[in-house]
Structure 1
Amino acid sequence: MRNHSSLVRSVRFSLSVLVFFFFLQTKAQNHTLAINVQNFPDSLSRKEIRIDPSSATLETPTAELFDSVVYVPLQTIKQSIFSGIDQMEVTRKCYVILDESLNSIFLFTKDGKFYNKIVNSDKTVESSYKKIGKFVVDEKKEEISFLDPHSFYRFYYSFEGKYLRKTPKVISGEDFYHMSTGLDIYLRSANQMLYRSNKAFFESKPKEATNSILVVDSLKKIRYGYLPLDTSIVALDDLYGVAQTFYNNHSGKITLSIPYNYNIYEIDSIGKMTSTYRFVLPAMNSLPNDFMKNPIYKGNRISYLNNNKNAVYSITDFYQGNKLVTFRLVNSMDLHNFLLYNLQTAELISMIEIMPDHTCFKLPIVQRRIYGVADSNSFISALSASTLFSAKEKLRKDKNWEKQLPQHLKNFYKGDQLQNPVLTLLYLKK
């Protein structure tokens, strides 16, 4: 009996060991799949946006689209003067604005008061950087960080503008975004793939090197790779790029679009990508279906766009608020269609042609683009001071016009046309 019991215990132990190692192997296999396999976005719930840019409604009154428009002059003092907005992020506490020409990031409170800037004031200290690439914000940690394209580092600052630290870059990207869950999302360009940028990083995972989108976790491991590019049919400098890829709609997910692709994507907090919208354009505005697959276009894609100037090669600045989405259609004419689309009625509206009325004190509301959303109920744009002074000149015969302005706009008009831009918060009709 004793020998029999020992045998049973031995068998049970052996089975337990086998089950344990089977579990470990299965877990390792699943982990490997999650990390290394190229993933294609879920498109089951994708909606179609079918539009004709030439049919966009013109001269829509502001009051038909927006409940109100709030103007936020950005304080103009010696330390806060900047020349233009190349990137802006909206946080709960502040506006974070990059001026690439000044290589600086400016910080303003939500009422437009300047309080600090990130600037390279001393090239000998540890915080010295060479160039600010795209910056990202982490609202949870209240940090701003950016990749320096001319060094090996990523720099971190607080929302107060204080230098915190620098860390070695994991990889380089044409654009990147940071999720508060710790994930970094990178866009890799065709040129980076062809030049084999970050070669050492991809040595153990060569298949990941041709993914256009990479999701990297806090352990510097690739969690997901999306939208693989066949580099054999692309030449160096064969493709136009765009200024921005990722758009924060404050939904807990990040929205993105890439050139030569008419889909809009979302990536959630764990890195899963979904295709949410697909644009369908008229033939004269569309690229050939095989434009990114057929080798006959290799080395000829830019010349094709120059010869077919109506062809849209990118859909950028995609923001959603309630039932409305706004975006730009980019072609080589450099006449970007800046549009607003109603998801319920399918009405297409030209943003540039929106008519000022009493809702916005008869002033313009947008100029170049939408820079972001404050929440699901408002878009944010910006106007140059000179644009607002030109509008005032056109309204000078209306003696009662200036009396109706809020005090902060009256104060703005006491200044000159060299002031900082004025943000416009466009509150959508519910």
Structure 2
Amino acid sequence: MQKLKTCLILIFFSCCFSAFTQTSKVDSTAMLTLRIDPESARGASVSQVFDEVHFIPLETTKESLFGSISQMQITESSYIIYDYDTKSVLIFSKDGKFKAKLNGSKTKMEEGEKEDNNFYGFSMKHENNKDLIQIYSRKYLVYFDLEGKLIKKTPVEGMDPGEGQKFTDQTRVKFNHLVKRDNDSLYYEIALLKDNKEVGVYFPFSMDRYKNDQFYSGGKPVYDCGVPDELFYLRFYEYNIYKITPKKVELAYHIIFPAANSLPTDFKDNPVYKNKRREYFEKYPNAIYALSNTYKIGDLLFLKMHSWEASNSKKNALIYNLKTEALTSITDLEPDSASSFLPVTDAGVHYDFLNRGFHAFDGKYLYTSYSSLAAFAFRDQSAGKNPKYTAAMSNYFKTENKKSNPILIQLKPKQD
């Protein structure tokens, strides 16, 4: 009897420990398989794809002048932009008026510091009903309001580096989540946490994987896909789009590309490819190695594909209609009166859209941009079509020049 009790106790604790450490299973019951041939995508007029098109010049002053948009986030009142060339964050109002600039000199936190603290991006935090810009500056996290005023600084030491994003029910999604054990530890690409307890942990990995292998991506892996409390998530060397919700991680879409554009099915795990990824991509430059820019707006799934052969003529940014299976190439959108006969991206001519795609989606509008150099060239090309510009764009073309700040393009997709 005593042996039986001991056995039951051991089984109980074993089960508890197993449940505590067990990797959660991705729900694939609602997965849709999409067969996509990029070269079959067709063009369309701008007015066939977008209900609204707005061009927003970003005010150019001596202080606000910058090169291009490396990162952008949107609040109710402002556009917050990071420019890699100047290593600065610039804040503009919704009508494009310049508000403030944050650079390395603004983030000096120690008395007597001589060098500027260059930084390489920012994140947004919402505290006490206020939007704050958070910048990592050596020993501190530095917080500014949307007028560029310093609010506080917090020592980095001892802070959780992966605070993550909260859903409306206060469930927190955390990326690269570390689970420590007595003798070892393990990371998970995704963790769902509620009241500091794990709701689910997904995709375990060791940091050692980065030591002897090559990882190429299309940019950030997480996208606010357009549905409240849902995020899209992308993994290295997969043609899958995962959906993160407060309750679980689901496999939403599995994409099948033509063989000429596809990686081998075992490319991710077969050791023969380990640390030889670039060599493979150079040999097969049309193979799609990553996805990005995944947004679902109504029945429209937006996505961008990345291959080693980067060409302005490639159909690498698509709109897939989930209802009709129609495939539209964003590169081949034809300007019309809805866009004042200006292109809505610089795809096919310049490289902003090729390199970055859409900067953001605010739940209603997608945002992209192009340089003033491109804008003035596009204006000249469309002069014979008698375009009608808004007051803001008319003033822009009268008072600015090819060296002025980029312009934002705000696009509202049609929803069938």
Q: TM-score, normalised by structure 1?
A: 0.78
Give the match for residue 319 of structure 2: 340
Structure 1 residue 372 corresponds to structure 2 residue 360: yes
1:172 Cα deviation after fit? 5.7
SS at match of 1:80: coil
Structure-1 separation of matches of 2:139 and 2:247:
25
Structure-2 separation of matches of 1:328 and 1:313:
11
Structure 1 residue 158 corresponds to structure 2 residue 145: yes
Structure-2 separation of matches of 1:54 and 1:139:
46
CA 1:133–1:123 in structure 2 vs 1: closer, same or farther (change >3 Å)?
Answer: closer
Give the match for residue 73 of structure 2: 89
Q: Percent identity?
A: 26
Q: Is the 8 A contact 1:136 1:178 kept in 2?
A: no
Q: Point out where structure 1 has 5 or more consecutive residues left out of the alignment.
A: 1-21, 189-197
1:133 Cα deviation after fit? 3.9
Give the match for residue 269 of structure 2: 293
Q: Is the 8 A contact 2:301 2:319 kept in 1?
A: yes
Give the match for residue 183 of structure 1: 172
Give the match for residue 190 of structure 2: 213
CA 1:277–1:146 in structure 2 vs 1: closer, same or farther (change >3 Å)?
Answer: farther
**Deviation string for 1:55-78 (max 9, x for gaps)?**
1113x1111111221111111112
Structure 1 residue 125 corresponds to structure 2 residue 109: yes
Give the match for residue 59 of structure 2: 75
Give the match for residue 32 of structure 2: 47
CA 1:273–1:117 in structure 2 vs 1: closer, same or farther (change >3 Å)?
Answer: farther
SS at match of 1:38: coil
1:307 Cα deviation after fit? 0.9
1:185 Cα deviation after fit? 2.6
Structure-2 separation of matches of 1:243 and 1:139:
28
The one of 404, 414, 419 equivalent to 2:404 is: 419
Relative to structure 2, which stretch is displaced further, 358-367 or 90-99?
A: 90-99
SS at match of 1:43: coil
Task: Please tell me the residue identity of whatever aligns with 1:343.
Answer: L
Q: TM-score, normalised by structure 2?
A: 0.81
**Deviation string for 1:292-347 (max 9, x for gaps)?**
12222222222112111111111101122112121111111123711111111111
Relative to structure 2, which stretch is displaced further, 80-89 or 131-140?
A: 131-140
Q: Is the 8 A contact 2:372 2:402 kept in 1?
A: yes
Task: Please tell me the residue identity of whatever aligns with 1:116.
Answer: A
Relative to structure 2, which stretch is displaced further, 163-172 or 250-259?
A: 163-172
Q: Point out where structure 2 has 5 or more consecutive residues left out of the alignment.
A: 1-8, 347-352
The one of 243, 249, 255 equivalent to 1:279 is: 255
**Deviation string for 1:81-102 (max 9, x for gaps)?**
2111111112222212111222
Give the match for residue 246 of structure 1: 222
| Larger gyration radius, structure 1 or structure 2 | 1
1:132 Cα deviation after fit? 3.1
Count the aligned residue pairs.
Answer: 382
Give me the CA root mean square deviation. 3.3
**Deviation string for 1:197-244 (max 9, x for gaps)?**
x8xx846584532x333456786x766432234778876242223421
Q: Is the 8 A contact 2:218 2:291 kept in 1?
A: no
Relative to structure 2, which stretch is displaced further, 230-239 or 103-112?
A: 230-239
Give the match for residue 258 of structure 1: 235
Task: Please tell me the residue identity of whatever aligns with 2:267.
Answer: F
Q: Is the 8 A contact 1:318 1:328 kept in 2?
A: yes
SS at match of 2:294: strand
SS at match of 2:186: helix
